[in-house]
Amino acid sequence: MNTAAGKTVLVTGASDGIGRETAVALARRGARVVAHGRSLERVAGTVAALRELRPDAALEPLVLDLSRLDDVRGAGAELARRGVAVDVVIHNAGVFMRERQRSADGFEMTLAVNYLAPFVLSHVLLRAAGGASLARIVNVSSIAHGRGAIDLDDLSFERRGFDPYGTYAASKLALVMFTAEAARRIGRRPTVNALHPGVVSTKLLTEGFGVQGPDSLAKGAATSVRLALDEDVANTTGGYFSDGRPARTHPAVADAALLRQLYERTAAMTGTDPLPAG
């Protein structure tokens, strides 16, 4: 374990649940935390909680709607305007939609928030000031990705029909596949890793899945914080972790052709300049 003094970590979905706990753990370790949320009121609650915990904490609120890709693209300019250079981004925000909804850009909402937003925001941060400061990208996936299926011609479940769990699992699988392909294209800096946070009784779990989880918020945040800060994983990239350790992942993650095709399809869908194929 190392201290995080001087490191700036952006946490999406930091207004409650695992995201807030992650922000708290990072602040305890001395990181400057950029706490993201969808509303100023909810982000302010996180900032207040962190200030109570650590009055000298370096904090930046960031309000944006991850379902709107223009908002996501604008985050880079907003952070640059404030002079904030992000060292680590933790893509923690996620949704579980019980009914089909479309984002402002016309994408199915689960896909838009859980996968397309991290994809676009990662590229925004990579290209901010040449990506010089960005050292680590951490993607919070789920064990559910192991039951996902990717159909490149039906990523929004239009033809297959909307299935809440299937769509959620597919979005989390896509995020792990992006992790592997981005790591291959980028090389060693920044590192890109994905994780399962555990089964925690967050709003997403209780309202989406209708169950309670056995794991604490602290456990849910622990692997994200480890991948964000710990020195022994500073050069680890393209991995998938659970409970702080490398874990088995979906067979599709080993399909190099499918990884490339999904990456290129996503870049085209979102109007994102792709990274060199290498």
Give the rounded percent of residues in the chain with a pLDDT score beyond 90: 70
Closest of 103, 101, 194 to residue 144, by C-alpha: 194
Specify the pLDDT at position 136.
Answer: 97
* Confidence tier at 3 by pLDDT (50, 70, 90): low
Average pLDDT over residues 191-212: 66
Ordered alpha helix ranges (H), the chain? 17-28, 40-53, 69-82, 109-111, 117-127, 164-186, 203, 217-229, 256-270
Closest of 32, 39, 57 to residue 48, by C-alpha: 57
How much is the pTM?
0.93
Specify the pLDDT at position 212.
Answer: 46
Given a cut of 50, whether residue 206 has pLDDT beyond it is no
Amino acid at 255: D
* Gap between the Cα atoms of 7 and 257, Å rounded: 36
* Confidence tier at 248 by pLDDT (50, 70, 90): very high
Catalytic residues: 168
* Gap between the Cα atoms of 226 and 220, Å rounded: 11
User: CB 6: neighbour CB atoms within 10 A?
Assistant: 10
Superfamily of domain 8-270: NAD(P)-binding Rossmann-like Domain (3.40.50.720)
Sequence-ordered list of residues with C-beta below 8 angstroms from that of 56, at least 6 positions apart, any chain? none
Amino acid at 142: S
- The per-residue pLDDT for range 47-72, each reduced to its tens digit, is 888 888 778 777 889 999 999 999 99
More confident position, 277 or 175: 175
Q: Are strands 240-242 and 245-246 parallel, antiparallel or unpaired?
A: antiparallel
Query: What are 40's two structure tokens?
Result: 């100023």
More confident position, 180 or 220: 180
- Tell me the average pLDDT of the chain: 89
DSSP-derived secondary structure for 186-208: H-SSSEEEEEE---B--HIIIII
Contact 106, 166 (CB under 8 A): no
Q: How far is CA 119 from CA 22, 84, 124, 190, 269, in A?
A: 21, 20, 9, 14, 11
Average pLDDT over residues 199-215: 51
Average pLDDT over residues 74-82: 90
Specify the pLDDT at position 199.
Answer: 59
* Gap between the Cα atoms of 88 and 12, Å rounded: 11
Specify the pLDDT at position 201.
Answer: 43
* Domain residue spans of the chain: 8-270
Specify the pLDDT at position 146.
Answer: 92
Angle at 266 between CA 81 and CA 207, to 5 degrees: 80
